Amino acid sequence: MLRFILTRVSLVVPTFIGITLLVFVLIRLIPGDPIETMAGERGIDPVRHEQMRKEYGFDQPVLVQYGYYLARLVRGDLGRSIVTHEPVISEFTTLFPATVELGVCAMLFALCFGLPAGIVAAVRRNSIFDHGVMGVALTGYSMPIFWWGLLLILLFSVQLGLTPVSGRIAVQYFIEPVTGFLLIDTIIAGDWGAFRSALSHLILPMIVLGTVPLAVIARMTRSAMLEVLGEDYIRTARAKGLPTFRVIAIHALRNALIPVVTVIGLQVGVLFTGAILTETIFSWPGVGKWLIEGINRRDYPVLQGGTLMIGAIVMIVNLLVDVAYGLINPRIRHTR
Amino acid sequence: MNRSILLAAVCASALVAAPAASAKTLIFCSEGSPENFYPGVNTTGTSFDGAEPIYNRIVEFERGGTKVVPGLAEKWTISEDGKVYTFNLRRGVKWHSTSRSFKPTRDFNADDILFSIERQWKEEHPYFKVTSSNHSYFADMGMPKLLKSVEKVDDYTVKITLNQPEAPFLSDLAMPFAAIQSKEYADAMLKARTPEKIDQDPIGTGPFYLLQYQKDAVIRYRAFPAFWGGKAKIDDLIYSITPDASVRWAKLQKNECHVMPYPNPADLDAIRKDPNVQIMEQAGLNVGYLAFQTTKKPFDDVRVRKAISMAIDKKAIIDAVYLSSGVAAKNPIPPSQWSYNDSVKDDPLDPAAAKKLLAEAGYPNGLETDLWAMPVQRPYNPNARRIAELMQADLAKIGVKAAIKSFEWGEYRKRLQEGEHQMGMLGWTGDNGDPDNFLHTLLGCDSAKSASGANIAKFCHKPFDDLVVKAKTVSDQAERTRLYEQAQVIFKEQAPWFTIAHAVQLKPMRRNVIDFKLSPFGRHIFYGVDIKE
């Protein structure tokens, strides 16, 4: 198992270096100069423009800039935002807990509804339930996040008044961030009103962000389960007279989970992508909204740092997924 | 930064024990996070709004207007030659005492004025590079060249000497970039080797002090009881950061905020129908225009420029693109700007006459040109691409084939300033409420000659330039008004632009918000505003 993990980790390092280079080059391929973008209609005097380019190091050849960037990166320095002049790492760490909180809740929502829906759809193949679940899953998968978010706000917040419109907590609560995760911080503060408020603010963004992963997980679980349910050993288990629940939950589901776990790992990337839009609609103060602003303002350090950190996190999650395969199915450890 | 502000906020909240819920709280659904809380290096309205409650300036714009009124200076005198400004400063002005790392021991005085100006002006100043050396507005308003000296006469008198007379100087000092910071705080932080703290954990003399800032979520301010102008009518001011316009509207409906900026035009009908909501509107201090490159053929001929102006259906553009959020522009300055010349007649829509003019200019079969359209939405132009298409169709009727071009926004503006275009759309939002900021900045010869100037028409017409240059040096407003009115007449005759529209500023708010005044600059100022319980 250790060897298996080490092999996986050794693949992560070159991928990480590849990401740094890709991010660095791609951002510079986007048309637009951050200094010009900052100037707006006013324009900028060429002498001052040059001074600022020098100050930010943009006057150097791209490869030299990349070298400096890597050197700083090794020391854990992601640079300072051109717009706010704050260290990128401090902005990221301030905002990241909000994204994680939303992402984890969205994933839990997707798993809680997606897995059972997929299993039941497979067990009751071709039933109305199966067609219904798959129809809803397809709709959910095709739903543009922006439209879906606004629709839910209009229905649940504006018309029915059941949920707050946006934000992370009602403005009258003044919670001191300890972990950055509001659900935890409100418990630490012992303020149950604030906890309820934070929870109610999570509902709609969680549903919106979790819809696509839910649809994917439900579909993938269904197809994996269908495949496994047709296997000989399932027939044997049934023939042995095992209860249906045991056959499905123990014999079928564990084997069906491998492709599902792969998909769950891949959905982490999807969650980050979805978070960009979800956070914008729900005024959720996470890294997604921060990156959008970074793109609009051509804030290179923010884009580089933010993308790199997210890339690293997605890689780590996928590494953990690889390790999880080994735990779910020991054959994988031995064959690789 | 956020953590330090937060800790300061916690300390402050411990001192001020009143719970927020029982206080009078106004919630403003702002459109974004400020860049930081030091307006000297900021460039966006969102950032200026964030710093506005905290700071004062030497002079201020009156609430809801462009008139300059006393701020930290009670009164001032201007020398005969218009070069020396002597300010008598207000006494007993207190600094906020909410910073975690510093407690002020003295009131505001002349040292603070000198510090705040020199910090942006002198490269050798220890604070010049703190936070950023890019003091954008200070440079853009021409301060480095304009200032000769800033002297402290005594603790409550400051003398500013200019290199040449500059009538808009007072207006410049009322702009957000000229916010006054505490020298005592700056010295203390320099000594503690944390100079950036004065911008991250700011204190000012303004009506509210900063309580908490959580990036992309919320900014909390509390009324400063010792404010020199008297305590604000509201106790707490909260900016609930909400970037999406439709969501802002949903929050306003649900009473989750009291005031919202920049409504989505598609929501306007619903907003107007809501009995709990009122909309304040005012033609903004802005103009959207199509500039003709007057040094290039065929637009070096005024007849061609006039012909194009007479061929485009302005009303159709405003109806189709601006919807109810724009008014037709005939002058280069907006109607809310003093010296606006309402007697100027706009060019009529007359394609037949336009065709005739083109023939007279030597283009009986029409001509080919480019037509540049911005790739982005701007406050003065909601959809340049759509406007370009409408213009293209109108121009085709008089035989002008216009090819629409666009570039990435920064590149677009740069190329326009270099004069690469033949016809190009752009616009302007006023900075200081002075006509000079439109007429000289956008149409003067100095700006036309510079590759980075804002005069993208490259219009340099001596009779016009003489008027706007003279108006800069005259301090009598009646005389300046006369000069600017004449300049607008010449502008119309010469037609360096086809003036499109002035975007209307719309501000939906709950009906229980009392005495909110629209700022012509689009700022949001909550001192003086009240909430009906």
pLDDT tens-digit profile of B110-159? 999 999 999 999 999 999 989 888 888 898 788 999 999 999 999 999 99
Question: CB distance from A286 to chain B under 8 Å?
Answer: yes
Give the span between the Cα atoms of A51 and B133, in whole angstroms. Answer: 10
Cβ separation of A283 and B36 shorter than 8 Å? no
Q: Which two three-digit tokens encode residue A194?
A: 């604030």
Instruction: Give Cα A8 distance to the centre of its chain.
Output: 21
Angle in degrees, 0-180, between the axes of helices A88-123 and A182-189, rounded to the nearest 10: 110
Predicted confidence at residue A333, as pLDDT, reads 58
Strand positions, DSSP E, A74-216: none
Cβ separation of B411 and A45 shorter than 8 Å? no
The average pLDDT across B395-418 equals 90
pTM: 0.83
Pick from A40, A84, A284: CB nearest B43:
A40
Which range of A26-30, B379-383, B394-398 scores highest in mean pLDDT? It is B394-398
pLDDT of residue B81 exceeding 80, the answer is yes
Cβ separation of B21 and A172 shorter than 8 Å? yes
pLDDT of residue B13 exceeding 70, the answer is no
Side chain identity at A329, as an amino acid letter? N
pLDDT of residue B3 exceeding 50, the answer is no
CB interface of B with A, residues 23-52, below 8 Å: 25, 27, 32-33, 35-36, 41, 43
Q: Which residues pair with B61 in a beta bridge?
A: B68
- Helix, strand, coil percent content, chain B, rounded in steps of 5: 35, 20, 45
Question: CB distance from A48 to chain B under 8 Å?
Answer: yes
pLDDT of residue B5 exceeding 90, the answer is no
Helix, coil or strand: residue A318? helix
Predicted confidence at residue B10, as pLDDT, reads 40
Q: Name the strand (E) or helix (H) holding B290.
A: strand B286-292
Interface test with chain B among A28, A92, A102, A174, by most B beta carbons within 10 Å: A174
Q: How many contacts (CB atoms, under 8 Å) link A and B?
A: 147
> Could you identify the residue written with the tokens 């809801």?
B64
Cβ separation of B408 and A55 shorter than 8 Å? no
Helix, coil or strand: residue A104? helix
Chain A residue numbers touching B15 (CB-CB < 8 A)? none
B31 in Cβ contact with B46 (< 8 Å): yes
- How, if at all, do strands B157-162 and B84-89 pair? antiparallel
Predicted confidence at residue B2, as pLDDT, reads 46
Predicted confidence at residue B105, as pLDDT, reads 96
Specify the length of chain B in residues. 533
pLDDT of residue B17 exceeding 50, the answer is no
Question: CB distance from A89 to chain B under 8 Å?
Answer: no
List of chain A residues with pLDDT < 70:
1, 40, 329-336
Pick from A33, A157, A285: CB nearest B214:
A285
CB interface of B with A, residues 253-292, below 8 Å: 253-254, 256
Give the span between the Cα atoms of B302 and B305, in whole angstroms. Answer: 5
Predicted confidence at residue B467, as pLDDT, reads 96
Predicted confidence at residue B19, as pLDDT, reads 38
Question: CB distance from A290 to chain B under 8 Å?
Answer: yes
Can the peptide bond before residue A31 be classed as cis, meaning omega within 30 degrees of 0?
no
> Could you identify the residue written with the tokens 């679980």?
A221
B472 in Cβ contact with B309 (< 8 Å): no
Q: Please give the share of chain B, as a percent, with pLDDT higher than 70.
A: 95
The residue with greater pLDDT, A244 or B456, is B456
CA angle A216, A219, A223 (to 5 degrees): 135
The average pLDDT across B255-265 equals 91
Pick from B132, B243, B454: CB nearest A43:
B454
